Structure formats: C-alpha cells, structure tokens
Structure 1
Amino acid sequence: MRWVTYLSPSGGEERSGVVDDGCVFGYPGEQSLPELLEQSRDTLADAFHKALASPVEIIVEFETRLCAPVRPQRPVPARVGGEWTGLDPGLVRGTDDGVVLPAGETALTATVGVLALFGGQGRHAGYTPAVLWRTPEGGAVSLILGPAIVTHDEFDGSRLAVEASVEDSRVARAEVDGSLEWADGARDGFAAAALPAQTRPLERGEELYIDGGTLGEFEVRVGAGA
C-alpha cells in the first residue's frame, strides 16, 4: 500500500490519499495519515480499501501536489553516517517543496536514506525515502520525505537501497538493513531515520534524482523552493 499527503485541488487543504493504478484516491475518513499509521495494521488496511471504494476525489498521480507524507511533532532520531542525532521536525518538507539555498550559501550536500515509521507497540508501519540537506559546514537546512509512505506489507526484511544521481551519474548510494536492527534503540517513538550516504556539494540549479526502488522516486532542484 502507498499512502500520500497532498494538497486537495478542490479545497486547498492537506489531505491523505492512497496511490493505485497511477491515481491518487482521497481518503474519506477524518483521521490523518500519522493517526492511521499509529493504529493497528488491520485499521490501516481497512482505510486503504475505504479510500479506493469511496474516494472524496481522484487525481492523476503526476498532477498531484505532494506534501510531506508525515510531519513529526517531536525531534526525529536519525543515524546520520554512523552517529545518532535528533533532527528538528520543523525541517521536514515534501518532495514537491524543493530545497532552498540559505542566504550566503552556494551549495548543499544531501545525505540520503530512509525514514521508518512505527505504529502501536512499536510495530513497523512503513518506510519513505529521506534526504537531509545540509550546508558544507554541516548545518541542517531541510529534511525531504516522500513521495509516499510504503507500508510494512510491501517488505520482506531484505536490505533497502536508495540511490542519488545527477545527470545520470550516481553521487551516493545508501543501503539500509531491512530487518530494522539499526532502529532498535529508537522504536519507542513514531519515526526514525537511517541516513548513511552523502553526496558531493550540489550547486544551485543542479537536479538530484532519488531512486528508492519500491519506495518510489523523485527529483529536486537545488535552489528551487519556497
């Protein structure tokens, strides 16, 4: 199952939806995506089928304005390289939000990997690609999540790979233990990130392409965003 958060073209508000057959089906319930993810796996599956059966709207996927699929309310535990840190939830952006260059900066690095989400009793709920953008000095600028949350039932514990490339040239490859052993110390929260691979400095105008395989893909231009 693939879940997204998107801007509704009919009302302009953020809404949860599911992706199927190239379209986004707006979820008709009142719960947000984080609320659904924190419930039981059966509840999440029921909500998916409810969205397909009775969507509030249907939008072609490539025409959908995607938001960050989840917006954590607490610092996000993240293993960046080989060290644990806490990322400010205010850094979170969606794949359609772009990445802004802070004043005075001419380049940013991207550290790539995944965000794992956990539901009730710390059970794995799903994954999404994650990209931490930082200044050359290491200052965090933004944490891009998405395009979608791919739920736990799509994975068998195999290693996950997220590749980053610029103009068909690979600049980073992240491999993450699919058994989630890396997250054992962080599973009492809602989310944890593994970000093991960093790109070279990327300058304004360069486009970074992220390919997460089953997790989805997206492209973002450095310096294009708000």
Structure 2
Amino acid sequence: MRWVTYLSPSGGEERSGVVDDGCVFGYPGAQSVPELLEENRDTLADAYHKALAAPVEIIVEFETRLCAPVRPERPVPARLEGVWTRLAPALVRGTDDGVVLPAGETALTASVGVLALFGGQGRHAGYTPACLWRTPGGGPVSLSVGPAIVTHDEFDGSPLVVEASVDESGVARAELDGGLAWAAEARDGRAAAALSERSRPLERGEEVYVDGGPLGEFELRVGSGA
C-alpha cells in the first residue's frame, strides 16, 4: 500500500490518499496518514480498500500537489554518517515543497536514506525515502520525505537502497538493513531515519534525482523552495 498526504483541488485542504495505477484516490475518512498508521494492519488495509472503492476524488498522480506524508511532532532520531543525532521536526518537508537555499549560501549537500515509521506499540508501519539537505558547513536546512509511505506489507526484509544522482552521475547512496536492525535504538518513537554520507556540494539549479526503488522516487532542484 502507498499512502500520501495531498492538497485537495476541491477546497485546498490536506487529505489522505492512496496511490494506485498512476492516480491518487482520496480517502473518504477524516483521519490523517499518521493517524491511519497508528491503526492495526487489518484496519489500515480496510481503509486502503475503502479509498479505492469509494474515493472522494481521483487525481492523476503527476498532477497532484503532494505534502509531507507525515509531520513529526517530536525530534526525529537519525543515524547520520554512522552517528545518532536528532533532527528538528520543523525540517520535514514534502517532495513538492522544493529545496530552499539559505541566504548567503551557494550550495547544499545531500544525504539520502529512509524514514521508517512506527505505529502503536512500536509496530513497524512503513518506509518513505528521505533526503537531508545541509549547508557545506553542516547546518541542516530541510529533510525532504516522500512522495509516499510504502507500508510494511510491501517488503520482505531485503536490503533497501536509496541513491541520488545528478545528470545520471551518482552523488550519494545508502544501503540499509531491511530488517530494521539499524533502528533498534529509536523504535520507542514514531519515526527514525538512516542517512548516507553527504554528497559533494550541489549548486543552485542542479537537479537531484532520488531513487528508492520500491520506495518511490522524486526529483528536486537546489534553490527551488520558497
């Protein structure tokens, strides 16, 4: 199952939705994606099928304005370059939000990986690709996540690989244990990230393509955010 948070074209509010066959199907209930992920797996599967059977709207995926699928309320534990740290929740942005280049900076670095989501009682709910943008001096700028949360049932424990490239040339790569051993220290929360070494400095206007394989993909241009 692939869950997204999107801006409804009929009203402009954020809604939960599922992705199927190149379209976003608006979930007919009021729950947000994080609220749905808190449910047990049977209830989540029922919600998924309800969205496909009775959507409030259907939008072609590439025409959909996607938001961050989750917005953490607490700092996000992140294994960054082999060391655990915590990222401020305000850093989290969706893949359609662009990448801000702070005043006075001419480039950013990218560290790619995954954000693992956990539901009630520490149950693994799913993954979404992630990319941490930092200034060359190391200051965090934003954490792009999405476009969708791919739920636990889509994975068999195989390693997860997320790669970033510019003009088909690789700039960052993360390969992670699909069994979540890497997240053992952080499963008491609702989210945890594992991220690669930083890329080379990426200048304004460079297009960065992030490929998470079964997790999904997205492309962002440095300096495109507002």
Regarding TM over 0.5, the answer is yes
Matches within 5 A, 1:128-139: 128-139=128-139
- Show CA shifts across 1:84-134 (max 9, x none): 011000001000110010000000001100000011111110000000000
Cα distance in 2, alignment partners of residues 208 and 94 from structure 1: 15
Cα distance in 1, alignment partners of residues 52 and 198 from structure 2: 38
Does the CA contact (< 8 Å) of 1:77 and 1:193 recur in 2? Answer: yes
1:194 aligns with 2:194: yes
Cα distance in 2, alignment partners of residues 56 and 40 from structure 1: 23
C-alpha deviation, 1:196, in angstroms: 2.2
Amino acid at match of 1:175: E
Cα distance in 1, alignment partners of residues 180 and 31 from structure 2: 27
C-alpha deviation, 1:198, in angstroms: 2.0
Cα distance in 1, alignment partners of residues 16 and 41 from structure 2: 17
1:185 match: secondary structure? helix
Matches within 5 A, 1:1-226: 1-226=1-226
Identity of aligned residues (%): 83
Does the CA contact (< 8 Å) of 2:4 and 2:69 recur in 1? Answer: yes
Cα distance in 1, alignment partners of residues 197 and 40 from structure 2: 32
Unaligned runs of 5+ in 2: none
Cα distance in 1, alignment partners of residues 75 and 224 from structure 2: 26
2:138 match: secondary structure? coil
Cα distance in 1, alignment partners of residues 181 and 104 from structure 2: 40
Cα distance in 1, alignment partners of residues 198 and 11 from structure 2: 38
Unaligned runs of 5+ in 1: none
C-alpha deviation, 1:177, in angstroms: 0.7
Cα distance in 2, alignment partners of residues 31 and 217 from structure 1: 25
Amino acid at match of 2:88: D
Does the CA contact (< 8 Å) of 1:113 and 1:197 recur in 2? Answer: no
- Show CA shifts across 1:125-158 (max 9, x none): 0000000000011100000000100000000111
Cα distance in 2, alignment partners of residues 43 and 85 from structure 1: 33
Cα distance in 2, alignment partners of residues 154 and 178 from structure 1: 11
Does the CA contact (< 8 Å) of 2:172 and 2:196 recur in 1? Answer: no
Cα distance in 2, alignment partners of residues 136 and 110 from structure 1: 10
Does the CA contact (< 8 Å) of 1:17 and 1:51 recur in 2? Answer: yes
Detail structure 1 runs of 4+ shifted over 6 Å in the superposition: none
Cα distance in 1, alignment partners of residues 71 and 186 from structure 2: 17
Q: CA RMSD in A?
A: 0.6
Cα distance in 2, alignment partners of residues 128 and 197 from structure 1: 18
Cα distance in 2, alignment partners of residues 209 and 130 from structure 1: 12
Does the CA contact (< 8 Å) of 2:114 and 2:128 recur in 1? Answer: yes
Does the CA contact (< 8 Å) of 1:114 and 1:195 recur in 2? Answer: yes
Does the CA contact (< 8 Å) of 2:78 and 2:193 recur in 1? Answer: yes
Amino acid at match of 1:223: G
- Show CA shifts across 1:3-32 (max 9, x none): 000110001011110000110000011111
